[in-house]
Amino acid sequence: MLRIGELAALAGVTTRTIRHYHQVGLLAEPPRTAAGYRLYGMADVVRLIRIRRLAALGMSLPDIGRVLSPRQDLREALADLDADLAREEEAVRRQRAMLAELMHTGRDPALTPELGQIFAELEQIFPAHPLLERERETITLLEAAAPEAAQALTGVYRTSMGDERLQRRMWDIGLRFEALRDASPGDPEVAALAAELADAMRPFMDAVSAGGRAAAGPGGPAGTVPGETLSAMMVEALSPAQRRVVELLTP
């Protein structure tokens, strides 16, 4: 017969773990000596080793209790556990693949691989452009709040990147928009730039507008936010003059 410390050493667990197994009913309380010491026999040792091995496989204590019940088919329970582990293994494989891609490309993890590639190309076309980070934040917000609009906007980005004339025009517009940070909302450049943006960015604005409607609609996807809230979040970091440009673009 073994005392609790000897049993713990033999089975590779702690005495505290054994007491916990007693409390949850996994391991029956053994008889005690006149001095109050627990004494464990071979059956207790074998059961404890089984519990430890099943726990090491990832099985929960309630499931272990059912597996060790005489009425439970051990092979069936292990098959269920194997299926769970296979799903976890696949999830880990996908996570590692994503980590490898992020380490290789340096892509912003908030963006999808396609958008990450697009912004990497945009950074090559517009190095250190002041609006790139704002565009990245906008599309990240759209992906979370209005996925359909983000997909539409992604297509517009991809199409427009093949138009060198549009690229040069957007570079100039971006610099002018950033220059309005310290301007007054009444500056004549505000209205002029709004008109220029309305013409150059109509496909972009249509996609963003569609996203706002999708987010605001009663049948929108779960997790979306009201269109008004979405729009407010997009412009909250802008200066008064820049916000006025956006207001003039809004129908």
pLDDT, tens only, 48-57: 998 998 888 8
Q: Which letter, b or e, does each residue of 198-212 get, where b requires 16 or more Cβ atoms within 10 Å of its Cβ?
A: eebbebbbebbbebb
Only one residue has tokens 């025009």, namely 169
Return d(Cα 42, Cα 66) in angstroms, integer. Answer: 21
Give the pLDDT confidence score for residue 72 in this predicted structure: 61
Give the pLDDT confidence score for residue 222 in this predicted structure: 41
With contact defined as beta carbons under 8 Å apart, do 142 and 208 qualify? yes
User: In this predicted model, what pLDDT tens digit does every residue of 88-99 receive, in sequence order?
Assistant: 899 999 889 888
Give the pLDDT confidence score for residue 190 in this predicted structure: 93
pLDDT-derived band of residue 59, with 50, 70 and 90 as boundaries? confident
**What are the Cα distances from residue 235, in Å, to 51, 135, 219, 229?**
58, 12, 25, 10
End-to-end CA, the chain:
85
When mean pLDDT is compared over 12-21, 156-165, 214-223, 240-249, the highest value belongs to 12-21
pLDDT-derived band of residue 71, with 50, 70 and 90 as boundaries? low
Output the average pLDDT for the chain.
Answer: 80
Helix (H) or strand (E) holding 107: none
Give the pLDDT confidence score for residue 214 in this predicted structure: 46
Which amino acid belongs to residue 127?
A: P
pLDDT-derived band of residue 221, with 50, 70 and 90 as boundaries? very low
Query: How many alpha carbons fall within 13 Å on the CB side of residue 5?
Result: 1
Structure tokens at 183: 């301007």
Q: Is the pLDDT of residue 22 over 70?
A: yes
3-state secondary structure of 38: strand
Q: Which letter, b or e, does each residue of 9-46 get, where b requires 16 or more Cβ atoms within 10 Å of its Cβ?
A: eebebeeebbeebeeeebbeebeeeeeeebebeeebee
With contact defined as beta carbons under 8 Å apart, do 37 and 29 qualify? no
Give the distance, in angstroms, between the CA of residue 44 and the centroid of all CA atoms in the same chain.
45
Give the pLDDT confidence score for residue 229 in this predicted structure: 62
Give the pLDDT confidence score for residue 20 in this predicted structure: 94
User: In this predicted model, what pLDDT tens digit does every residue of 24-43 receive, in sequence order?
Assistant: 999 999 988 888 888 999 99
User: In this predicted model, what pLDDT tens digit does every residue of 207-219 receive, in sequence order?
Assistant: 555 544 544 444 4
Q: Which residues contact 200 (CB under 8 A, 6 or more apart)?
A: 166, 169, 170, 173
Is the whole-model pTM more than 0.85? no
Give the pLDDT confidence score for residue 230 in this predicted structure: 60
Structure tokens at 228: 């008004």
User: In this predicted model, what pLDDT tens digit does every residue of 184-207 receive, in sequence order?
Assistant: 999 999 999 999 888 877 666 555
Average pLDDT value for residue range 65-75: 75
Return d(Cα 139, Cα 133) in angstroms, integer. Answer: 10
User: In this predicted model, what pLDDT tens digit does every residue of 106-157 receive, in sequence order?
Assistant: 777 777 787 888 888 877 877 777 677 777 777 777 777 777 777 777 777 7
Give the distance, in angstroms, between the CA of residue 200 and the centroid of all CA atoms in the same chain.
34
| CATH for the 4-69 domain, from 3.40.50.1100, 3.40.50.300, 1.10.357.10, 1.10.1660.10 | 1.10.1660.10
